[in-house]
Amino acid sequence: MKFPAPLSVEWLSGFLSAETHGSIDLQLTGINEIHRVEKGDLVFVDHPKYYATCLNSAASAIIINTANVDIPAGKTIFVVADPFEAYLKIVQHFRPFSAATQAIDPSLQAGEGTYIAPHVTIGKSVVIGKNCTIHPHVTIADHTIIGDRVVVQAGTVIGSDAFYYNTKKNRDSWYKRMESCGHVVLENDVEIGAQCTIDRGVTAATIIGAGTKMDNLVHIGHDVTVGRNCLFAAQVGVAGGTTIEDGVTLWGQVGVSKTLTIGANAVVLAQSGVPSSLAGGKTYFGYPAEDASLKRRELVWIKRIPALWKKVMED
């Protein structure tokens, strides 16, 4: 999430009631999670396991729960008792909940030739390009950006909150939602089927690349990047933070785990499971998804086991 205007270290220190160390002259332009940080960003960390990762990331400032760390040159740390609560305070300040008063927010910017059917719900600060078709009962959440010639079929939800929780065993509720302040981008010529769900980024964007087509009942998790001209059949599910490169085909009921990469022009056959990254330009099948030709041979040998066992016993 980008801030409306750059924030000074002094202002943010006072806002968070934080102890500050390091550079005091920074101007902070946004807040991001560790997988998406850029120069100028603020990130939070509350576990020693991840201190070094955050301190040595592209982030310019780190919200942390100890001052006993080595601060890289040119960076700032904000020391607070609970960095996660500090993150929530920032998000709630800059992206506060605001109840809708009508189905389509008046801030909508829609291009020439775009058709929006009855019973569509559109949130605040949404941009839709030219010659798009938005079918009935679609929900498009705040800050979504949609390109030209995009089709969204009935009942789909674009921009639902990320399934992303901070886990602590020492409180009544183990799972506390990490509030989403990111958004969704659908590039030109994307088509989304009926009853699909595309989660917005936690702090950045979930991106569906130009020309990609999705069948019905597809789920795309938070902060996923889908490349250009991909094809997803029905009931595909992609977990958060995953990168799917250009030209990938996922056939029906393929499940893809989080924070991995599927290389360009890979094909994953129906009902396969992808727990780790796959190289591009190959066809995969099974769980865990492997080269389809090898997997087929394996299945053939599995079918031969009873006969082989019988022969062994007879001998």
Catalytic residues: 222
CA angle 54, 184, 7 (to 5 degrees): 45
Residue 200 gets which letter from DSSP?
P
Query: First CA to last CA across the chain, in angstroms?
Result: 70
The helix or strand, by DSSP H or E, that contains position 29, with its residue range, turns out to be: strand 27-31
- Residue 79: closest CA among 25, 12, 31: 12
**How far is the CA of 2 from the CAs of 37, 169, 217, in angstroms?**
11, 32, 31
Q: What is the dihedral of CA 140, 144, 146, 152, to 10 degrees?
A: -20
Residue 37, token pair as written in the block: 């940080």
The helix or strand, by DSSP H or E, that contains position 232, with its residue range, turns out to be: strand 231-232
What is the C-alpha to C-alpha distance for residues 220 and 240, in angstroms, rounded to an integer? 8
What is the C-alpha to C-alpha distance for residues 215 and 206, in angstroms, rounded to an integer? 18
| DSSP three-state, residue 179 | coil
